[in-house]
Every structure is written in C-alpha cells, then in structure tokens.
Amino acid sequence: MARLVPIRLAGMIAATVTCAAVATEAAAQDQDPSIVLNEQIQFGDVFAEQTLDVVDSSEQVTVSNSATGNSLAGGVQGGDMSVTSIQSMQGDVRAETTFVLGGDTEGVVSGVTQANGNYLGLSAYDANLTVDSAQTVSDVEIVATSTMAEGDERLLGGAYVDASAIGNTAALGGERSYFDGTLVQWSDANVRASNYAGTQYIPAEAEFTAQAVANVVSVTGTSVTGQNMTIDQRSTGGIIDSGVSANAGNSWDLAGRANAGANRAVLSNQGGSVVATTRQDNTSQIQSQAIVTSYDYGAANSYARGVANEVSVGNNDIYVEIDNTQINTGGVAVNAQFAGTQGYDAYVGADAAGNVVTGFACADCAGYIDATNNQANSGNVSATAQTTINGANRAVVTGTNAVGNAATFYVSRSGN
C-alpha cells in the first residue's frame, strides 16, 4: 500500500523528505512508490540582513546571508518517489549584506548573499523520480544586495563576493536514475541583484559578481541517468536587473561580472537519453551592467551578460530530443565598463540575446539529436562596452555581441 506524506504548510518553510532503501535494489523495486504532496504559501515578507564590522582581521572573513520564501528538499535512494508540489510566494524577499572592513584584512573575504522566492531541490540515486511542480511568485520584490562602501578597505588576501536574486528555482540531480515530470514556473516579480565594492588596495585575485533571474531549472544526471522533462517558464514582472560595481585604487587581479535573465533551463546528462519539452515566455525588461575601475591595475575584467530566454540540453550519450518554444517581447540591455589610469591587461565584454537554445550529444557514442525549435523575439536587444585608460597599459581586449534569436545543435566528441 502506498505511504502518503502530506505537507500543507504556510509561511517560510523548509520541508525535507528522504526515502532510502534498506534491502537490496531488487527488493526496493518491488515496493510501492513513496508519495510526497507539498503545498506552501508565503503571504508575508522575508528579510535577512547582516552587517560585518571588522578591523585588522588576520584570517579569512566569510559571510553567508540568505532569505527564502518557500523551500522543499528531498531525495530517494534505491526506490521510486512521486512528488507533487505547489509553492506560492506572495511577499517580498530581501537579503542585504554590508561590509565594513577596517585596517588590513589578511585572509580571503568570501560573501554570499541570496534572495529566493521558491526553491525545490530533489535528488535520486538508483531510483525513479517523478515530479509535478508548480512555482509562482506574485507582483513582489526579490532583492539581493551586497555593499562594501567605506572606500579604505585593504583586502590583502583577495575577495569572492556574490549577490544573487532568483524568483523560482527547481533543481533535480542524481545518478543511475530516471527523472520524469513537469516543472512549471511563473514569476510576476521584479528581481534585482546588486554588488558594490569601493576599496583601496587588493594585491590578490578579487571577483565581485551579481545574478538576477526570474525562473531557473537545473536537471543534472550522471552514470546512465535518463530524463523526460516538460518545462514551462514565464516571466511577466517589470524588470530583471543585475548590477556590479567593483572599484579599487590599486588592484592586481580585479573582476566584476553581472548576469541577468528571465527564464533559464539547463539539462545535462552523462548517460541514457534526454527528452525535453521547453516553453519559455518573457515580457520583462532585462538589464545587466558591470562597472570596474582601478587607478593602478595588473589585470581587470568587466563582463556583463543578459539573456531573456535560455535553454541548454546536453547528453554525453546517444540520444537527445528537444522540442523548444521561446517568445520574448521584453527588451534586453547589457553594458560593460572599465576605467583605469595605468596598468597591464584590461578585458571588457558584453553579451545580450533575446532567445538562446543549445543542444548537443556525444559523437563517440554515435550520438543523435532530434530537435524542433521555434523562437520569436520582438524586444530590443543591445550590448555596449566602454573602455577608458588614461595612462600606459599593455593589452586591451573588448567585445560585444547582440543577437535576437540563436540556436545551436551539434554532436561532439568527449572533451570537445
């Protein structure tokens, strides 16, 4: 007889369900599948705030700051599981981190700031996982902010600081398993991520990043895992905005990277077959900007990327089948900037696209792709870059790329 595990909760909830086989795999296959029914509704706002005030730290400085509306996590090993999940986010989500670092910070500065509306994470090992998920975010604000603004920070060990804001996330992963199901995501939210750093001296590698995405699906399988997934994503919010401003008086290896998107689906597999039906629709404005400045610099990298609808389906085995439809009516504007006085190497790049799909299979396995693709873009797409160097320098490499619709399907050898 099937075992029911109902979960009907409202509020900021994390539900975890794990089913592990206690006998042999053959015996586990004779059992009835585990069934999970999940309903989560968050009406109020969710906030997470941190202020880090440190002077002359001799070792690492690490900050983790996360705010999430609804979260479901679970897994199955050596059996079958069926998951039906409904998640609704109807309040704002904000995560804010403020760095105040006085004197010399000798260790590496690591900061992760995340704002998430709905999160679904499921795993399967030697198992079959069936998923029917619906995630919705109302007309609210999903915002992640990281700030290092004193202007006199001396980060002697370097830094890796990220700010990420995502409306809906569904992540499936495992090995020697089979994934089957439907993932529906609809976001009407404004999604914003910003990362600002104004520093004095960084004699090490330093990377400041920001990512804002309305809907994200990731399905990853290894060791002969099969996939049969239907994905439906829609973004109707006003704006999806990602911005990075990384600044230093003197830096050795400084990078600022911004990434913004409405709908993103990434399916990857190491064996078995992948069958994917993807539908993406965006009306939101997509903005992505990266600004990097340094008076003296060794290497400087400023990169911004913005894609309204994006699908990637890949299999390191024989068979890939894709039925893809993408419609974008929102604008995409991407800008990357660098300004310095004297230094060595500067790299500036901006990539913008309305609709992008990529599919690939393994040539060594006599791979085969069956692809049906429909893309329509009526939004304006722009990519711009500005580079200003007022003194001596060694190399300057810049590039911009803007495209309305892009489709790439190929069969490649392993490692290519």
pLDDT tens for 218-229 read 999 887 788 999
Residues whose CB is less than 8 angstroms from the CB of residue 384 and which lie 6 or more positions away in sequence, other chains included = 334, 335, 336, 350, 400
Instruction: Note whether 350 and 385 are within 8 A (CB).
Output: yes
Residues whose CB is less than 8 angstroms from the CB of residue 406 and which lie 6 or more positions away in sequence, other chains included = 353, 355, 356, 357
Top mean pLDDT of 14-28, 268-282, 353-367 is at: 268-282
Task: State mean pLDDT over 36-44.
Answer: 98
Assess whether pLDDT exceeds 50 at residue 344. Answer: yes
Distance, in Å, from the CA atom of 115 to the CA atom of 262, rounded to the nearest integer, reads 16
Position 90 scores a pLDDT of: 98
Position 315 scores a pLDDT of: 86
Position 365 scores a pLDDT of: 67
Q: Which of 83, 65, 282, 373 is nearest to 193 (CA)?
A: 65
Find the radius of gyration of the CA atoms of the chain.
23
Assess whether pLDDT exceeds 80 at residue 16. Answer: no
Query: For residue 34, what are the β-bridge partners?
Result: 81
Angstrom CA distances, 314 to 228, 301, 410, 411, stand at: 13, 29, 10, 10
